[in-house]
Structure 1
Amino acid sequence: MQSEINKALQVLKEGGLILYPTDTVWGIGCDANNAEAVKKVYDLKKRVDSKALICLVADDRMLKKYVKQIPETALNIIDVTNKPTTIIYDDAQNLASNLIASDGTIAIRIPDDDFCYFLSRKFNGAIVSTSANISGQPTPKSFKEISKEVLKGVDYVVNLHHEKNCNKPSSIIKLSNNGIVKIIRE
């Protein structure tokens, strides 16, 4: 696993795209602080950049770098949830501007996955994580279902868990600073 982390780190630092297994589905990733890399993700997915992407961070300490005010409810949800949950936060900061939604929000997940944790920790930053498909196409349930277009469009494919069938995408909850909680995807 360490050599795969090192190879993926090099690509992220150079502004490239990686294809990697997450705690949910196979993801296309890049440095969440690099606007050019984020644009490459939108281009590869043929997705309009007004449709926000998810980021992964290693832990709640890292989360604080990217969200001005973390609602206490968020930390409670992170502690008690037993399935992958992405939370949309108000007042995103320190991220590529084309990654932040027009309303100033950002979707972030702390994955329960060793590879993602160590990759984010060693990278010391947020990593984009969006499903490894062209926009409008089904989310691949396994590595074998990833399209040739996506495979050719990334700079590095992580050589781990190719045989593993992936879970469904994460739940998504929007937690506004005004206390409103909205379930976006269960």
Structure 2
Amino acid sequence: MLEPGFHPVAPGRIAAIVTHLEMRAPPPSPDAKLPEGMMLRQVEAPDPDWYRDLFLRVGGLTWMWFSRLRLSRAELSAVLADRDVEIFALEIDGRAEGLLELDFRDGRSCELAFLGLTPAAQGKGAGRALIQTGIARAFARPIERLHIHTCTFDSPVALPFYIRSGFVAVRREVEVVDDPRLDGTIPMDAAPQIPLIR
């Protein structure tokens, strides 16, 4: 348990405040349609290279997403091929520009593991349609709860967006990890709003 006050973070590491949220039943909400020219496609057992490219463009370059990029090809392939992991790509002109991923592997709940859009898909209302699809698909199974977490590396609109969508914050953590730019997981110029301290 951290005591109140400032806590040093070693050079070469980064720290984020992680907020965990959940919902126990789907909230009433109007249907949100995808903007014209966009479609959502379920991708079963996607190729790891395709997935890594989308993951990096959606979250790695701007928001310091790195967790899936640190998995080996075999580890990532195993996750992507699991029948209890559902992956959807938001496509514009046939190119994936958004990611929705649901993880049912614990058997009792669903994690909304990843949800995000590339800059090409942002600001058009696609996020609302994406999260409503995720909520509906999650509660189509007999789960006890749908949960998600976001952190201070994510877009500043992410946490209020999840709360407006019906999620309730239930706990908070501090995560300290090695800076993924320093080991080549993501490019050195990624997430420039987070200073690199060697």
Q: TM-score, normalised by structure 1?
A: 0.28
Q: TM-score, normalised by structure 2?
A: 0.27
More helix, by proportion: 1
